[in-house]
Structure 1
Amino acid sequence: MPKASSRWRNHPQGAQAARIGTLVSGGCVTLATTLGGQRFIGELSEDPLPRIC
Structure 2
Amino acid sequence: MIRVGLAINGCDREAIGYVTQIGGIDSGLIIYLMLEYLEKRFAVLHISHPVE
Same fold (TM over 0.5): no
Higher RCO, Cα 8 Å, sep 6+: 2
Greater strand content: 2
TM-score normalised according to structure 1 size: 0.26
Greater C-alpha radius of gyration: 1
